[in-house]
Structure 1
Amino acid sequence: MSQTSTARRGPLSRIGLFFRQVMAELRKVVRPTRTELLTYTAVCMVFVVSVMAFVAALDIGLGAVVVRVFGGSSS
């Protein structure tokens, strides 16, 4: 549609057009099967746990470096 024909529509007509377009797009959605969903979930969980382990190791390592550089005890 051109800009002028959209501007001539009333607000309720534009809202109706919006919802018709949303429904048309939702009909195009392909939902994953149960197996695909479980696979995607497992992959996501493994990725998140591995990133958490990496960040934790980095935190522990940098913490140890900071304690070594700035000293832990004052004697």
Structure 2
Amino acid sequence: MTETAASSSKGRPSGDKNSGKRGFFGRIILFIRQVIAELKKVVTPTRKELVNYTLVVLVFVIIMMIIVTILDFAFGNAAIWLFSGGPPDQ
């Protein structure tokens, strides 16, 4: 939660008393300022971190593909056995 949202129970910036009286464009400008303030807080990962994160994601995706493949094969054979009246022919 941002400092501005945490400082008020309604999520309005604490230093701004006229936020309810702002016009349409004033609210858009406030939103853009808040977006820019949040983007300044973003930390870009180093190359080593980026490679590490990429490898973790790829390993996770491969593991999930293996699990889904095994489950697909098992449920497919179970459906064939259930609806054909016997074990599947090999």
TM tier relative to shorter chain: 0.7 to 0.9
Q: Higher helix share goes to which structure?
A: 1
When normalised by structure 1's length, the TM-score is 0.78
Could you list the runs of 5+ residues in structure 2 that have no partner in the other structure? 1-12
| Pair 1:38–1:57, CA change in 2 (3 A) | same
Could you list the runs of 5+ residues in structure 1 that have no partner in the other structure? none
Q: Report 1:15-34 matches (<5 A).
A: 15-34=28-47
Q: How far 1:63 moved relative to its partner?
A: 1.9
Equivalent residue number for residue 39 of structure 1: 52
Q: How far 1:52 moved relative to its partner?
A: 0.8
Q: Deviations over 1:23-69 (max 9, x none)?
A: 11110111111111111111111101111111101111222233333
- Taking the aligned partners of 1:56 and 1:66, their CA distance within structure 2 comes to 15
Aligned length: 73
- Taking the aligned partners of 2:26 and 2:80, their CA distance within structure 1 comes to 67
- Taking the aligned partners of 1:66 and 1:13, their CA distance within structure 2 comes to 60
Q: Percent identity?
A: 45
Report the aligned-residue RMSD.
Answer: 2.2
- Taking the aligned partners of 1:53 and 1:23, their CA distance within structure 2 comes to 41
Q: How far 1:8 moved relative to its partner?
A: 1.4
